[in-house]
Amino acid sequence: MKVGMDRASSGWGARALFLTFFVLAMLLAVPQAGAQSRNGSAKPAAAKTASAKPSAARTTPAKKAPTKKAATKKAAVRKAPVQKRVVRRAAPPRPSVAQLQGLRATGDPLDLHSSVALVIDQDTDEILFSKNHDAILPIASITKLMTALVVAEADLPLDETLRVSLDDVRATSASRAHSRLLAGTALSRGDLMHLALMSSDNRAAYALGRTYPGGISAFVSAMNRKARDLGMGDTRYVEPTGLSADNRSSAQDLARLVRAASDYPVIRELSTSLQAVVPVGTGKKQRPVQFRNTNGLVHNPEWDIGLQKTGFISAAGRCVVMQAQLAGRSLIMVLLDSAGRYTRIGDAERLRKWVGEQSLLPSFLKSDPVLAPSLPEALQPVAPMAATQPLLYGPRDTTLPALPKLKPAPAPAADAPALRPDLPSVYVAPLALPRAAEAAAPL
């Protein structure tokens, strides 16, 4: 029995020892398995990354080395050199025809900046002031006054609708003065005449000539025919706008033109209009555009202007012709080839003030056999002075010198005579009396 118990105890002891070794073995095996699992999971990830790298290398092409041209372009963009400011001198203005002829060197008592000046009495043709009156020069947009006169005398309907064409645009494209009349603009003939006279619009003037019966060539022929009828022997037209330097005339001829044009109320009204608003363009692009008068003197209340027209191209200089009421007389004033932008206006003001400061005696006093000898002593004329100086009246002489007159229109001829061949280049009327002396004179 004892032997059996010993055997049993020894069996249980062996089992307990086996279990003890088993537990210890398991405890030792667990950390190693965790480390192996960690190491095993990292290796596949690394392998996966390593396997991904060749695929990326396969999909992304290798960058090529930049060429020499690309490298130069990239360097130029990177540097971005600063652009140097180049100052160019403006080209000097082209000399006018009068300047080339030396007419600007002609002096006068009023120190005018215009090479040509003429002031005459519209009613009597008496010349009150003259400077190079017979010089034949380009007249620029003064041409448009004859354009309007031919249209008015043709008795064409002013309410007829005309359309600005591409021909009008091309014919006036050489002008530095930009026209706002777009191709396709529809206006009445009266509106086109208005813009040609008031704003000196070249496309309007050309459209008037183009729509004349027979076209532009017939219109230019009518202009020259009218000039011959008026005795304008120094005048020649080649187109209706004045852009051509071949449109030429003299101051004495332009005085005749102003007098003829002033007989038409429509020309007087349109040329002295201050401004106008007309629709320009076609369809949805049509819009109202304001046009203004090119002669600032029409805004001056000191002037009573009945008709006017301005003009400018390089060959002609600044020009203006006017018919105005000055010192109680209807006077015609012509100024050609003024040197600066505003000098024609300044010259007109000098002439207006000169006329206003003098009392120009009416022509009937010198011809009346009764009134002439009975003039007060203070109104008796002085001895004639040099033609380049103003001639004043004083208590010296008893005779009244006769003023030169605008000669009657000569017969049409290519070599029409000058207005006064014996008249000097500068002439000032000898019938002037300072207002101070006039106030003291017992009348």
pLDDT tens track for 78-98: 555 666 676 666 667 789 999
- Asked if residue 60 is part of any domain, the answer here is no
What does pLDDT average to over the chain?
78
Nearest-5° Cα angle at 399, 393 to 402: 85
Token pair 């600032």 is found at 296
pLDDT: which is higher, 340 or 63? 340
Q: Is residue 419 part of a domain?
A: no
Residue 159 lies in a domain: yes
φ/ψ of 119, rounded to 5, equals -130, 120
pLDDT beyond 50 at 219: yes
Q: Is residue 380 one of the residues assigned to a domain? A: no
Residue-level pLDDT at 386: 33
pLDDT exceeds cutoff 90 at 210: yes
Provide, rounded to the nearest whole percent, the portion of the chain with pLDDT above 90: 53
Please state the domain count of the chain: 1
Strand ranges (E), 132-240: 137-138, 161-163, 186-188
Q: How many CA atoms lie within 13 A of 255 on its CB side?
A: 32
- 295, two tokens: 């002669």
Q: Which residues are catalytic?
A: 141, 144, 200
Q: Is 122 within a domain? A: yes
Distance CA 126, CA 330 (A): 11
Q: Which one has a higher pLDDT value, 295 or 376?
A: 295
pLDDT digits 0-9 by tens, 220-262: 999 999 999 999 999 999 999 999 999 999 999 999 999 999 9
Q: Taking the model in full, what pTM does it have?
A: 0.69
Alpha-carbon torsion (300, 325, 391, 321), positive or negative: positive
Integer Cα distance of 184 and 302 in angstroms: 40
Mean per-residue pLDDT for 357-363?
Answer: 58
Tell me the three state secondary structure of residue 154: coil
pLDDT score of 19: 76
Identity of residue 259: R
Q: Which amino acid is at 76?
A: A
Q: Is the residue at 437 inside a domain?
A: no
At residue 218, does pLDDT exceed 60? yes
Q: At 196, which CATH number? A: 3.40.710.10
Residues 6+ apart with CB under 8 A from 108: 117, 131, 388, 426, 428
Dist. CA 148–CA 143, nearest whole Å? 9
Bridge-based pairing state of the strands 329-338 and 114-121: antiparallel
Identify the CA nearest to 143 among candidates 232, 55, 71, 66: 232
Flag whether 405 is in a domain: no
Q: Which domain holds residue 110?
A: 97-358
- 290 assigned to some structural domain: yes
Instruction: Decide if pLDDT at 2 tops 50.
Output: no
